[in-house]
């Protein structure tokens, strides 16, 4: 008797992802990253556009082939989770990037992805489904896989754009050892057209047509990942952001139709919205811990936040 292979139901996966609150879900066969995308990534690294993010240079083979990252991988599931705030910090106040308003997205995404994986295990014969969940913590080209799984396209600002929703999404993946009964096609077209609003909105010209993002000039990199000082010319263009920078994301016309996030964990603490400029400039470590307990802002740490605020204050002529 021929043994039949267990096959995952794409419809079931997407239904379960929607039940867990994911905004979009798609599937693709596990295979090497398309040559054009792999070449662009290698060129980006070769030009030093990763700045001080040395981890981007490691595990290249695994980054370009999920089957090397997860042994036996047959299917990649890509999901997106909306984080557009319903009650953003008022525009006249100092700003932090939207993604950092609430609880650390790594934790929330990991919980939801593991719940999705567990639900799929319950629907397959015991011991047959193996997989791993990822969210921004492994050598995975997340935007590529979101595009490859049909969620959207990679815009001029280098972020994934979901039709009529924009780019305020966290991305995550499941890499599974079983094939699916249906896979999604890559998103068919780039819908940026002739629009260059994201490029024009970037205050440090970190976005270049056809060459992607240069992290050496990006305010998000300089105020979050960067462990050194902030160059004076970049500091002069920070205001009103002192942690991250959403200008390119917010400039995208596709964001206009985006609904607000429904995940309660991404709702900012009232105390965060109530902070005034003088409160930030006098921030002490106790208040920092209260405002950002369990937050992704811990990536920059208290010392990094104070560095950013000092850079902002030193360029108060804006």
Please check the confidence at residue 128 and state whether its pLDDT lies above 50: yes
Active-site residue identified among 65, 136, 184, 279:
136
Lowest-confidence segment of 4-8, 91-95, 121-125, 155-159 by average pLDDT = 4-8
CA pair distance 142, 186, nearest whole angstrom: 14
Q: Give the model confidence (pLDDT) of 60-71 as tens digits.
A: 999 999 999 999
Q: For the chain, give the percent of residues with pLDDT over 70.
A: 98
CA pair distance 279, 276, nearest whole angstrom: 5
| Overall average pLDDT of the 14-40 stretch | 98
pLDDT value of residue 5: 75
CA pair distance 270, 291, nearest whole angstrom: 9
Q: Give the model confidence (pLDDT) of 136-147 as tens digits.
A: 989 999 999 999
Mean pLDDT value across the chain: 95
Q: Is 136 a catalytic residue?
A: yes
Q: DSSP code of 134?
A: E
Please check the confidence at residue 316 and state whether its pLDDT lies above 70: no
Q: Please answer whether residues 147 and 184 qualify as being in contact, where contact means their C-beta atoms are separated by less than 8 angstroms.
A: no
Give all domains of the chain, ordered by start, each with its CATH number: 10-87+98-176 (3.40.109), 197-313 (no CATH)
Q: Which helix (H) or strand (E) holds 131?
A: strand 131-134
């Amino acid at each position: 008797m021929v043994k039949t292979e267990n096959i995952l139901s794409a419809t079931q996966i997407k239904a379960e992802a929607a039940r867990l609150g994911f905004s979009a879900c798609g599937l693709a066969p596990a295979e090497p990253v398309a040559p054009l995308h792999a070449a662009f990534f290698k060129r980006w690294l070769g030009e030093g556009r990763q700045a001080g993010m040395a981890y981007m240079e490691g595990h290249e083979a695994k980054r370009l082939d999920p089957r090397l990252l997860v042994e036996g991988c047959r299917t990649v599931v890509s999901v997106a989770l909306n984080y557009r705030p319903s009650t953003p910090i008022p525009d006249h106040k100092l700003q932090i990037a939207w993604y950092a308003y609430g609880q650390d997205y790594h934790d929330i995404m990991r919980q939801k992805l593991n719940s999705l994986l567990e639900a799929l295990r319950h629907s397959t014969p015991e011991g047959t489904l193996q997989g791993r969940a990822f969210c921004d913590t492994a050598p995975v080209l997340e935007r590529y896989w979101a595009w490859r799984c049909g969620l959207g396209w990679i815009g001029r600002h280098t972020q994934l754009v979901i039709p009529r929703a924009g780019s305020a999404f966290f991305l995550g993946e499941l890499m599974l050892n079983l094939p699916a009964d249906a896979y999604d096609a890559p998103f068919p077209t780039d819908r940026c057209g002739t629009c260059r609003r994201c490029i024009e909105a970037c205050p440090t010209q970190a976005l270049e047509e056809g060459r992607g993002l240069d992290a050496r000039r990006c305010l998000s990199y300089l105020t979050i990942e960067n462990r050194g000082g902030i160059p004076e010319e970049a500091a002069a263009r920070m205001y009103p952001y002192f942690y991250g920078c959403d200008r390119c994301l917010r400039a995208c016309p596709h964001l206009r139709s985006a609904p607000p996030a429904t995940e309660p964990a991404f709702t900012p603490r009232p105390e965060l919205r109530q902070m005034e400029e003088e409160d930030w400039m006098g921030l002490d470590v106790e208040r920092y811990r209260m405002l950002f307990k369990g937050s992704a802002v811990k990536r920059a740490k208290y010392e990094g936040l104070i560095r950013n605020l000092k850079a902002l204050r030193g360029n108060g002529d804006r």
